[in-house]
Amino acid sequence: MTEEQTLIAFENRPIRRYFDEATETWYFSIVDVIAILSESVNPRDYWFRMKVRVKSDDGLQLSTVCRQLKMKAPDGKMRATDCVNVEGLLRIIQSIPSPKAEPFKQWLAKVGYERIQDMADPARSLDRAREYWQQHGRSEKWIQQRMMGQETRNKLTDYWKEHEISKEDEYAILTNIIHQEWTGVSIKKHKDMKGLKTQNLRDHTSEAELIFTALAELSTRQIAESVDATGMAENADAGKKGGKIAKGARLELEQKTGKSVVSGENFLAPSKQARKITGKGERGESALVKKKRI
């Protein structure tokens, strides 16, 4: 996911947003929305005073519906800011006296309606994704693998939903367990290797990384189904076992090829790349290759 994709606009005013891969949920910058609706010259101060007022009047702590995420600030640096999902955003809008509140709700509803349309007709979102990837130079083989991997991912999250996994942080924890088990690094570390910030990690993986991710998630689901894994502990155990299967396959392939599967390769524009694409891992060369040279 490119940085530009994390921005949307209401009446030509930008709103930063972040897509949580684990829960497949959009989060919006609260101060950006407040700046638009309140016309305040200091939306951060407005947000602070608003939280105090709502807590005093209604006894509601608005901070409980928020989470802090790093987004690009006006100075170009990544800074933590309060963010909220659509449901929480609608609650916050209720506390902002503004003639733009109703038009904003309608706009937000339209965004939600498009999501509902995608759910009713998944081909819509798939077609848009395919078009986006084509425009950004992805090969047909890569696109095919990316879409197959997404289907595998969806089946896994559907299983989790039906087996007492409901909280956003639970999805994130389980996803990271699987990823760390097969790659040897956390999702955050993998993104750092690729020089990514707000971008979707899966949109910047190589064909091999996509395949092994899908293998790990497919194995996890089938293991979970075989024992009817329910709740965090049992699904975490299934995740470790599923990730271990993909890890074994990865290590065997690396042994045969002398190349690291987990790499710093990405699809960022050249001017934005934090590292040169090598396809050989974080240090640019597989340890297996080095060993052969000694």
Residue-range domain boundaries for the chain? 4-118, 139-293
pLDDT band at residue 111 using 50, 70 and 90 as cut-offs: low
The string of pLDDT tens digits covering residues 1-14 is 434 346 677 877 88
Query: Are the beta carbons of 185 and 193 closer than 8 angstroms?
Result: yes
Please tell me the pTM assigned to this model: 0.58
Compare 103 and 177 and report the one with higher pLDDT.
Answer: 177
pLDDT the model gives residue 44: 92
Question: Over the stretch 214-269, which tens digit does the pLDDT of each residue have?
Answer: 999 999 999 999 999 999 999 999 999 999 999 999 999 999 999 999 999 998 87
Tell me the pLDDT band of 36, cut-offs 50, 70 and 90: very high
19-23, 65-69, 160-164: least confidently modelled range: 19-23
* Total residues belonging to the chain: 294
Q: Which residue has the higher pLDDT, 289 or 35?
A: 35
A 10 A CB-CB count for 57 gives 9
Tell whether the torsion through CA atoms of 198, 203, 207 and 213 is positive or negative: positive
- pLDDT given for residue 245 in this prediction: 98
Confidence bin at 284 (pLDDT 50/70/90): very low
Task: Render pLDDT for 18-31 as a digit per residue (tens, 0 to 9).
Answer: 877 667 678 899 99
> Is pLDDT at 152 greater than 50 in this prediction?
yes
Instruction: Report d(CA 292, CA 251) in Å as an integer.
Output: 16
Highest mean pLDDT among 31-45, 91-105, 226-240: 226-240
The sign of the CA dihedral 174, 235, 122, 136 is positive
Residue 207 pLDDT exceeds 50:
yes
